[in-house]
Amino acid sequence: MMVIADATPLRYLILIEAAAILPALYGRILIPQRVADELQRPRTPLPVRQWMATTPAWLEIHVPQLAPERALARLGAGERDAIVLAQELRADLLIMDDWDGREAAEQRAFTVIGTLGVLDAAAARHLLALPEVLTRLQATNFRMTPDIVQRLLERDAARRRTLPGM
């Protein structure tokens, strides 16, 4: 499976110490060079910069070869390059939180999932305890509404009720 990620989901998965779910879910993850640069800026939280200093083998950094379409000019550089890289490599999935970026990717027929979708998928495969990671995520400046959190927790609880022995 070819998966491209933008900076925001990686940043928050690193901050809540859940980045290891990515290779368990998707194998390797590709990011554009500009996303790698964003994750190493001086204002980026230290744990993220430290993580990026010794990236795991499952994270690959690529420089897109195609020029971005003019329609993508309104996006941030990371989102724009993630979409261009996804187009070049015919990605199966884009991991992106930015709404404008998600909309642009979906207009180009890409499947897009955000940080919360990744966490939900990991919980469905029993790779993490969703209530615990959502609590850690809420302790950051990640924006999510209480009803989204509630829906995720309800879905997770329903999944756990269907497990044998529960």
Domain that holds residue 166: 1-166
- Return the CATH number at 40: 3.40.50.1010
Domain count, the chain: 1
Backbone angle region of 156, left / alpha / beta, with phi > 0 → left and psi within -120 to 50 → alpha? alpha
Question: Which pLDDT tens digits describe the chain residue by residue (166 residues)?
Answer: 999 999 999 999 999 999 999 999 999 999 999 999 999 999 999 999 999 999 999 999 999 998 888 999 999 999 999 999 999 999 999 999 999 999 999 999 999 999 999 999 999 999 999 999 999 999 999 999 999 999 999 999 999 888 665 5
pLDDT of residue 161: 85
Nearest-angstrom CA–CA distance, 12 and 143: 11
Q: How wide is the angle at C-alpha 77 spanned by C-alphas 8 and 85, nearest 5°?
A: 85
